Structure formats: C-alpha cells, structure tokens
Structure 1
C-alpha cells in the first residue's frame, strides 16, 4: 500500500522518533549513568542529548520523506539504507548505556557513521535537500564518536 503526501512524511518522521524513544527506554537509565561518568572536555550536560536526537530524528525523517516522494529509480534502495542505519542507530545506546559495552559501542558507532555517510551520498544524489538534512546527523555522530571513545579511554 502506497502512502500519499503528508501521511508519508509523518510516517518517516514518527518512526525514527518512536525508535529513538524505545531505545532510550530499553537502555535504561542511560542519562543517569552518563551524569556519573568521567567525561572528556566539551561533554554536554545530559539534557542536551534528547533535545539533539529529537531534532536529528525529525531532520532524518524529513530527508527520507523527500527521497520517498521523489521519482528517482534509486529511491527505494536509499530508503532501505535509511531503515538499516536506523536499526543500527537504535542499537547503539543499548550497547553503550544498557550493556556498558563501551568498546563495542564505539565500533558500532563507527559502523553507523559509515552507513550514514553512504546514506548521505545516496540521498544527496536523489534530492540535494535530503542530503543537506543529514549533515547535522553526520556531525553529531562524529562528536558522539569523540565522546564514546574518550569515555572508554577514561575507564568506563
């Protein structure tokens, strides 16, 4: 069944938001754990993370909507890549906060960065606006990689 117009956009926005919220709940008291960790310079306070992730999930949903609405023959492949990166994204907080697997979480984050970089290239080739909407996500993942690795090296 093909979704049309606004319903399609809401779907692509709401699913990442719900997935992110579910990951947060599954990973348990991640922000409480974060507040107790030794953190590197430039570490934001815990309240920043849900705000930033909400914005990023909305931006990635809008980007996916733009791609889904395009008539580009590569859009379906790009949307499959979108769902794959979202699944990988949802697993990261479970690895880091829920299971405390700092090193594995960092490797997983590198995988996510590569997937999102490839997604950015795919989206960019289909709709430039969709590609631009993923740039903050890539930048945040780069920063998250710095935080993840630094926290690991500091003994988490």
Structure 2
C-alpha cells in the first residue's frame, strides 16, 4: 500500500509532461549536440519514478531514525520535480527553470543521502535520479546560454 501512495505522487508529477508538452517552442530552441533524444525522456522518467516510489515506500516502511528527514527530502524533491515542467514548458521560463532545477538537484542530493542513511538500497535507487537531474540541469543551463533572447 505504501508503494502505491508514493507511485501515485510520482504519477501526478509525471502528468505535468502531458499537461505541458515540449511543443514547437522547444523544437525551435538551439540545443547542445549532447541533448538526449526525445524518446529517452519518457523511458528514463518512468524508470526513475518507479525507483523513487520504491525508495520512498521502503524508507517509510522501515521508519526509525532518519526516516522523517528522508521523507521530507522525498516530498521536497517531488514538489520541485512537479514544478519544473510547467515552469519551462508551460511558461517558457528557461532562467527560472534553472533555479527550479537547482533546487531539485539539491533536494535529490539530500534525498539520496538521507535515504541511504535509512536503507542502502533506497539510497542506491536515488543515484540514477541524481545523475539524470545533473544532466537535465546542464541541459537547462545550455538552453539558457544558447537561447539568450528566449524567455
């Protein structure tokens, strides 16, 4: 049951991708050569959301010292995750999106460490997420740099 609660939170965050698709605006942006292909995004995010849900449910089930901190970081990262897509793809605010993804990166780092302190497996499940958000933050920064006249 715990897993379903965390999975539902992830599904709600993931729905922002359907509510605010990349669209023509994104297609017209100058992008770095290392931009992942469009098909990679839903595959990666589906996997990451499953890992997040498993990690959160595991920490919630274990409880004990450190679980409250880990779950607070879990909540912070999913909130920042949910906010980034409408900021960038809904409002076309690349610079503001960079601030949001900076917060997201810090929240994911905190969640990784805090989850690891409760359950090594839960912490390991956050590592691919930290790596992907690092790539996404670098991509967001590159979009700001390559598209200075865009909102």
Query: What is the TM-score of this pair, normalised by structure 1?
Result: 0.88
Question: Which residue pairs with 1:98 in the alignment?
Answer: 90
- State the partner residue of 2:11: 17
Offset of 1:49 from its aligned partner?
1.0
Q: Which range is displaced more, 120-129 or 77-86?
A: 77-86
Per-residue CA deviations over 1:39-62 (Å, capped at 9, x if unaligned) read 102112222111111111111111
Where in structure 2 are there 5+ consecutive unaligned residues? none
Question: What corresponds to 1:116 in structure 2?
Answer: 108
Contact 1:12 1:65 in 2 (8 A): yes
- 1:148 is aligned to 140
Structure 1's consecutive aligned runs of 4 or more residues displaced over 3 angstroms after TM superposition are none
Cα distance in 2 for partners of 1:81, 1:151 equals: 27
Q: Which residue of 1 aligns with 2:76?
A: 84
1:141 and 1:31, CA in 2 relative to 1: closer, same or farther beyond 3 A? farther
Runs of 5+ consecutive residues of structure 1 not aligned to the other structure: 1-6
Quote the offset at 1:32 in angstroms.
4.3
Superposed CA RMSD in Å reads 1.4
Out of 19, 22, 41, the position equivalent to 1:26 is 19
- The equivalent of 1:133 in structure 2 is 125
2:61 maps to 1:73: no
Shifted more, 139-148 versus 33-42: the winner is 33-42
Equivalent residues, number? 148
